[in-house]
């Protein structure tokens, strides 16, 4: 979904930091509204607990650096884990 947001930000010509930082809403909150599941969406006790964890300090960095998904959680269970890439410079 990062690619979808990336193309959406490009097509909508989002240029400000805040606009880009908030563009994740295209595929999160707004996606839940479009699917009529917004009452079940979000992180709260009693909700489905499905989410991903990205390897970035914020969404701006995640989008601009095309970071990997570190963990995928579905209904409260971790279904996939990714180890961060390690780069070694041989100078």
**Which pLDDT belongs to residue 74?**
92
pLDDT band with cut points at 50, 70 and 90 for residue 15: confident
What is the structure's pLDDT at 6? 82
pTM for the model stands at 0.71
How far from 83 is each of 54, 57, 71, CA to CA, in Å?
12, 16, 9
Confidence of residue 57 (pLDDT cuts 50, 70, 90): very high
Domains of the chain (ranges; CATH) run: 2-81 (2.30.40)
54 in Cβ contact with 82 (< 8 Å): no
């Amino acid at each position: 979904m990062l690619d979808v947001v990336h193309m959406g930000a490009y097509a909508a010509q989002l240029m400000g930091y805040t606009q880009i930082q908030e563009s994740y809403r295209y595929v999160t909150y707004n996606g839940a509204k479009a699917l009529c599941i917004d009452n079940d969406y979000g992180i709260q006790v009693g909700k489905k607990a499905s989410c991903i964890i990205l390897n970035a300090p914020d969404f701006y960095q995640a989008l601009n650096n095309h970071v990997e998904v570190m963990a995928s959680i579905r209904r409260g269970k971790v279904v996939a884990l990714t180890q961060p890439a390690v780069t070694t410079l041989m100078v």
